Structure 1
């Protein structure tokens, strides 16, 4: 049995994976959606920074003590999940980044893309990045009900977005899959594009928007299952 530790992107908690998790459990996998510090039911636990979120992932792996773990990071969470992946040693079987940012040593989630608006929003909202408005989720394959649920998610702790990643070794040294959601751009960019130059990584395209755990949960679950069962 493979254990999946799955972390959703900014604003979201473990609840975002409910439908994906059900499919993976039905296929016989252990599934452990994780809420990061400061989000959802873990609001107010502490004032998290980037390394807090990395440690959240590492601690979950150590708590479970699996020997065949797949780490899954969506969007923002590719940054802490990627850092955790190179730290957990031979417990790691595979890492899957779902339309995610890939970590680069010394760079933050906000590095490499126009982020002045995000930084201003963090400064204006008590150090947190508020969820997007409903209009900003248009064109991503989501229903009105799904958008309404996401909009009500937790403001995201700003320090986790601005503090740099710490990579003891490059992420391209571990086996992985990158899932590109095509409604959010045709190709991976930046560090993710560099990562896919490695022979240890493969690209899978998914014809949906940036939040496939809502818009295409069954297709995403199949991709995750195949990441550890395909020859």
Structure 2
């Protein structure tokens, strides 16, 4: 099993940091001697099928969004990469970044690292990045996983999937920014993105977000090739996610997930962002169930 750590650059530009990975994996020491057998069986189950994950974050986030989840997956014996893409992370000031630039960056990372049998995971807006990146490197993918992520229709945009009042808010924020970016107001972020978090946790998470390049949210995407792919797909649905209204022609599941045709459905209790930070093991376990054979 290979791994990568340290700063990683593409074309001379810093794009992410991969923490060091310790091998071989050792299961945690049980609290009591009689738990040893159960702990060993659990560790073996987790290592039954080591996977290679590429984790793609969504809007108002960067690659650090995955730190806790990635660390847990690595602890369980998997290989994990969380690459950055234009307009985010160290490149957050690049508000002219396009959707094509973002998806190409993810595909380039997969090819540069010569990854094979990849479980490609997209969260939120990252689902649209995954759709286009999958078109570019389909032969390198084992499975495509969406976790409360947009699955756009051919010719559609992310903004097409939002309620009119949300589109109006984002348009107003974009026009007021002066640089084609959208920064979420805290009350909207608190109620929609981290509705299960304590106020303290919500404020901590909000302190880490940056303005989002607006253009890709309104771009229409040609997805004919994506819908011709035979790559297996999974959808992880966090059932208390309030970013999209549940029902009324919106929502993650079944509204988005049903567009995948045949897919594996995994459900968990969580909102849009909180559990990625507060319960990374839970998210890691859901992703493993979604990605394994």
TM-score computed with the length of structure 1 as normaliser: 0.88
> Aligned residue for 1:182?
239
**Is it true that 1:117 corresponds to 2:181 in the alignment?**
no
**Is it true that 1:151 corresponds to 2:206 in the alignment?**
yes
Deviation, 1:147, is 1.9
Structure 1: runs of 5+ lacking an equivalent: none
Structure with higher Rg: it is 2
Counterpart selection for 1:209 from 246, 271, 284: 271
Matches within 5 A, 1:1-231: 1-44=50-93, 47-114=96-163, 115-125=167-177, 126-134=179-187, 136-138=189-191, 140-152=195-207, 153-167=209-223, 168-170=225-227, 173-184=230-241, 185=246, 188=252, 192-196=256-260, 198-199=261-262, 201-211=263-273, 212-229=275-292, 231=293
Structure 1 residues 98 and 160: CA distance shift in structure 2, 3 A = same
> Aligned residue for 2:19?
none
Deviation, 1:29, is 1.3
Deviation, 1:25, is 0.5
Structure 2: runs of 5+ lacking an equivalent: 1-49
Structure 2 residue matching 1:70: 3-state secondary structure: strand
Deviations 1:24-69 (A, max 9, x none): 1012111111222111222235720111111121111112111111
Structure 2 residue matching 1:103: 3-state secondary structure: coil
Deviation, 1:19, is 0.8
Distance 1:119 1:54 in 2: 23
Distance 1:141 1:170 in 2: 34
Deviation, 1:76, is 1.0
Deviations 1:158-191 (A, max 9, x none): 1111112222231773211111111124763576
When the two structures are aligned, how many residues end up with a matched partner? Answer: 228
Distance 2:132 2:189 in 1: 29
Distance 2:105 2:185 in 1: 25
Structure 1 residue matching 2:59: 3-state secondary structure: coil
Distance 1:62 1:191 in 2: 32
